[in-house]
Chains A and B, each alone.
Chain A
């Protein structure tokens, strides 16, 4: 079954606002990662959070992980036009270093 399902699918916000997106998964994981993909480009690794961590920060990014609910959230604070992209969560639930991706959240930041 598909691991990693983001919600909502599309988000449009004004520059300076915060953007929050969620991801849920179905089985036990060792870690969960968030990636960004600009249109027509490859994936850029944003942040990794391990199963024994609850929250992690990196610059304007804040990731939370709730293993009891099997969910994670990505918060982008003070968004910028350059944050316009698709954001994917991925888990290692597939085993053997396989990453299982969700369908992604498309975020549009309006200048």
Chain B
């Protein structure tokens, strides 16, 4: 059973470009979470999704950030018009519907904005 997969592992963008981060949850997991980690910091919650639904986006910046988890395919975290402050590691986690108290994390995508 493959773990949570994220791609790309490293992403470099120039200011003003768009960044698309992908997350494939573990097989059988229908709950996906996105977190952001700034250097030397802990992870900060961004958004919680189930298939085709955003359950909690209280941690998402109001502008430029969006997330989706379609019926088919991976979850996508999209950052429009990136700025240097968006440089961080973005982690995706998933959990099964019957056991949401434990989240399994992917390896992360490290975004660098030049």
A and B physically associate:
yes
Task: Identify the A interface with B (CB < 8 A).
Answer: 4, 30-31, 33, 35, 40-45, 48, 88, 90, 92, 94, 96-104
Chain B: number of interface residues, binned into ranges: 20 to 34
Q: Given the complex, which residues of A lie within 8 Å of B45, measured CB to CB?
A: 94, 98-100
Does A97 lie within 8 Å of B43, measured CB to CB? no
Does A96 lie within 8 Å of B43, measured CB to CB? no
A-B contacts at CB below 8 angstroms, number: 65
> Lowest 10 A-B CB distances belong to which pairs?
A101-B42, A43-B105, A42-B107, A101-B43, A96-B56, A98-B45, A42-B105, A103-B42, A97-B100, A42-B108
Does B91 lie within 8 Å of A42, measured CB to CB? yes
Q: Given the complex, which residues of A lie within 8 Å of B102, measured CB to CB?
A: 33, 45, 48
Which residues, 34 to 72 on B, are CB-close (under 8 Å) to A?
35, 40-45, 48, 55-56, 58-59
Instruction: Answer yes or no: B30 CB below 8 A from chain A CBs.
Output: no
Q: Given the complex, which residues of A lie within 8 Å of B101, measured CB to CB?
A: 30-31, 48, 92, 97
CA separation between A43 and B45, bound complex, in Å?
A: 14
Q: Given the complex, which residues of A lie within 8 Å of B58, measured CB to CB?
A: 98
CA separation between A13 and B74, bound complex, in Å?
A: 41
Q: How far is the CB of B22 from chain A (nearest CB, A)?
A: 15
